[in-house]
Structure 1
């Protein structure tokens, strides 16, 4: 546990080269947390911010599948922390929802090109345990943030949450490394938000709306539009408000 750090992902990448085994790095205060596409990640006091520093085997494409491992581990840990009445779902590509609001996010970052040195991987995870960030800063149509405490009344410390998350992550990671992506994909789809419903994908300056059919063997989103079936490897996803 670090009292303060710029970013747990940045610290994980700094330490990955010297660590002998995968290691969780957690902090109480993150001064320059990052989300996808360079956005900031705001961390009110009492929330969870940690990164797994590792050098797993595989190509960059292989390592991208760890985002699905992280999502499944988060879903499992949150189910234990929130109780049986909480409604949890995974939003492609990197969020976990609680009662329809965003409670957690995932950010994968890496350095290196493989080979003998391997690729240093940071699996960053942020969870709104105690408080949700101000929704006023969100872009239009973004999923509103929520917290575990606000939605369930359960007080969970970052240390308690890591005790739930770390073994869950290890179990799902072992399944990926021994059985491949297929069982991970099936488990992820069983927990996917808005599967079979209409969603909108924003890719750069363009948008496409269609039926969310699932994910393919690389983790790309499958969207069925009037033009046909399309695999989308990266996009921002928005839900239809009346769905």
Structure 2
């Protein structure tokens, strides 16, 4: 554990686990980071399998937030900014890192990391939030493992030649997240919203957003104060709370 490890935050390292998010809910107590050498049942958004070999990063931050669910959800942006900061510390490639709405980090235009927020009991006396994070440190899935038209996956090692262990990466990520969480707690989302937009992928360009069977195409104008994607279409600006984004 590094000297910069955030105060009062636990750390658990497991050689193998089904899912770090699932383990977070089983343990229940936080704040704590759970790091796994290997996940056997990892998952991404919409319960998609997240297959990743040993040497990649699989971790979850377990928290007990007291805010309303819509505020809790904004921590996906906090996590994305922390991930970018940790990846920047390893690679030194500021211009090569971008944030893809709603929860991916891109390196040289390819997906290098993803975030999955899952929660239970929000708004009750026993809320639990699990912020699951996967990073392709040494290897990325093949193109046939991802949806047609999706951003191609890449690895940190292949794109930069930089090799970092999951343990060392967590030593960078946990302090970065703690600093940004403190900003979120004291200043709210506006400051982080501007920081996220500074690094947003394809801002000001035409993108496609798919929600269920509905596909919208328009100019990626901004994200609003609640984290919604604002798409400028022929009929005007449309706020989208959840979607798959394609470039």
TM-score, structure 2 length as denominator? Answer: 0.93
1:169-208 to 2 correspondences below 5 Å: 169-208=177-216
1:37-116 to 2 correspondences below 5 Å: 37-84=46-93, 87-116=96-125
Aligned match of 1:3: 15
CA shift, 1:85, in A, is 6.3
Residues 15-58 of structure 1: CA distance to partner in whole angstroms, max 9, x if unpaired? Answer: 12xx2x41000000100001001101111221000000110221
Aligned to 2:180, the other structure's residue is in SS state helix
Q: Does the 8 Å CA contact 1:30/1:43 hold for their aligned counterparts?
A: yes
1:210 pairs with one of 207, 213, 218:
218
Aligned match of 1:13: 25
Residues 139-195 of structure 1: CA distance to partner in whole angstroms, max 9, x if unpaired? Answer: 111000000000000110000100000000000100000000000100000010000
CA shift, 1:86, in A, is 5.9
RMSD of equivalent CA atoms: 1.0
2:41 pairs with one of 14, 32, 38:
32
Q: 218-227 vs 79-88, which deviates more?
A: 79-88
**C-alpha distance in 2 between matches for 1:222 and 1:15:** 37
Q: 78-87 vs 178-187, which deviates more?
A: 78-87
Q: Does the 8 Å CA contact 1:44/1:133 hold for their aligned counterparts?
A: no
Q: Does the 8 Å CA contact 1:86/1:98 hold for their aligned counterparts?
A: no
Aligned match of 1:122: 130
Aligned to 2:43, the other structure's residue is in SS state coil
Q: Does the 8 Å CA contact 1:135/1:145 hold for their aligned counterparts?
A: yes
Structure 2 gaps of 5+ residues are 1-12
**Paired residues, what number?**
235
TM-score, structure 1 length as denominator? Answer: 0.95
**C-alpha distance in 2 between matches for 1:37 and 1:153:** 32
**C-alpha distance in 2 between matches for 1:120 and 1:172:** 19
Aligned to 1:116, the other structure's residue is in SS state coil
Would you identify which runs of 4 or more consecutive aligned residues in structure 1 move more than 3 Å?
Answer: none
**C-alpha distance in 2 between matches for 1:148 and 1:238:** 22
